[in-house]
Structure 1
Amino acid sequence: MADDDENKQKKHTIESLFQLYANNNLNALDLDNEVYESILLSQIDYWLEQAKLLKTVFTMTETGMAYMKFKKWRLNFEEFLDFMNIICQGKDIKIDDVKVALLEAGPPGSGEIVVVK
Structure 2
Amino acid sequence: MADEDDKPKKYTLDSLFMVYCNYKLVPTELENEEFDCILLSQIDAWLEQAKLMPMPITRTQTGLIYMRYKKWRLEFEDFLEVLQQLATDNELNYDELKQTLIDAGVPSGATEIVTVK
Q: TM (normalized to structure 1)?
A: 0.84
Instruction: Report the counterpart of residue 49 of structure 2 in structure 1.
Output: 50
Q: Shift of the alpha carbon at 1:107?
A: 0.3
C-alpha distance 29-60 of structure 1, shift in aligned 2 (>3 A): same
What amino acid is the match of 1:50? Q
Q: State, as a whole percentage, how many aligned pairs show the same letter.
A: 46
Q: Give the Cα–Cα distance (whole angstroms) in 2 for the partners of residues 9 and 106 of structure 1.
A: 9
What amino acid is the match of 1:97? E
Q: Give the Cα–Cα distance (whole angstroms) in 1 for the partners of residues 100 and 40 of structure 2.
A: 18
Instruction: Report the counterpart of residue 35 of structure 2 in structure 1.
Output: 36
Q: Give the Cα–Cα distance (whole angstroms) in 2 for the partners of residues 12 and 61 of structure 1.
A: 28
For residue 89 of structure 2, give the secondary structure of its aligned residue in structure 1: coil
Instruction: Report the counterpart of residue 108 of structure 1 in structure 2.
Output: 107
Instruction: Report the counterpart of residue 15 of structure 2 in structure 1.
Output: 16
Task: Give ranges in structure 1 of 5+ residues lacking alignment.
Answer: 111-117
Q: TM (normalized to structure 2)?
A: 0.84
C-alpha distance 10-69 of structure 1, shift in aligned 2 (>3 A): same
What amino acid is the match of 1:108? P
How far does the alpha carbon of each residue in 1:17-42 deviate from its partner, in whole angstroms, 9 at most, with x for none? 00000000000011110000000000
Structural RMSD (CA): 1.8
Q: What stretches of structure 1 move > 2 A for 4+ residues in a row?
A: 6-10
Range that drifts further, 8-17 or 89-98:
8-17
